[in-house]
Each structure stands twice: as C-alpha cells, then as structure tokens.
Amino acid sequence: MWAQIINALLGIWLMASPAVFGFADDKTISNNAHIVGPVVASFAIIACWEATRVIRYYNLLPGAWLLLAPWVLGYDSTIAIVNNMVIGVAVIGLSLVKGKISGSYGGGWSAIWKKDSLHATEARRKLGS
C-alpha cells in the first residue's frame, strides 16, 4: 500500500510542479504534467485497496510516457526533463511493488472467467461438508 501512496503523491507533485518550478507559462510542459499527474494519482489511489491492487499496473503506461515525453515533446528545460524522468522511473518501479495482501478475495478478478478458481472450489467444499 505504501508504494501506491507514494505514487499518488508523485502524481500530485507532478500536477503542482509547473507552478512550483515556474514552468506554468510553458504550455507543453505544464499541460503534460497537468494531464499525466491526475491520471497517475487516480490509478495509485484506486490501487491502495487490496481488492483493486492490480490497478497499479495501469500506471506503467503513464510512467513510461513520462520517460519519453521530454524527447517526444521537446522540453527545453533541464529541470522539467529531470523532474519527468525521475517521476517516471519512480512510478514504474513502485507500480511493480505488489505490497502486502492480507485478505483473500475468492481468487480475484481473473476468477470471474477462469474455471476452478478459489471461490468455486471453496463453494464446492462448503456444499459438500
């Protein structure tokens, strides 16, 4: 969970960074931060809960985009480039952290279409006993 909380904070930091660093007038840099930041923060917040922890993988895409954006969009500020790259690497790394799962969830989301997952076998066991 802590990994997802840090990712949420990174997303919020990305949203705030154009104002903090004074890039707010550079529309390319600030628009990208204002779009990607809320997306990263939202996925990370949803992934805080164990039942929806898999949503953390959704942040791999915006994370990877942050590594490419300075070159694709042609940032002309070193601080903005470093800021994007560091956040990108951190978001990717932290979205790979599964964290502690203490509850059990009947086999999770894949159990909706897979046969013989935890909830199905457990239901059969209960019916048999």
Q: Contact positions toward other proteins, by CB under 8 A?
A: 15, 24, 30-31, 34-35, 38-39, 41-42, 45-52, 102-109, 111-113, 115, 117-123, 125-127, 129
Rounded-to-integer distance, Cα 48 and Cα 54, Å: 10
**Helix (H) or strand (E) segment spanning residue 46:** helix 27-46
Chain CA centroid to CA 31, Å: 19
Minimum Å gap between C-beta 127 and other proteins is: 6
Rounded-to-integer distance, Cα 96 and Cα 77, Å: 29
Nearer to other proteins, 89 or 121 (CB): 121
Minimum Å gap between C-beta 87 and other proteins is: 17
Q: Which residue has the tokens 């935890």?
A: 118
Minimum Å gap between C-beta 40 and other proteins is: 11
Nearer to other proteins, 24 or 97 (CB): 24
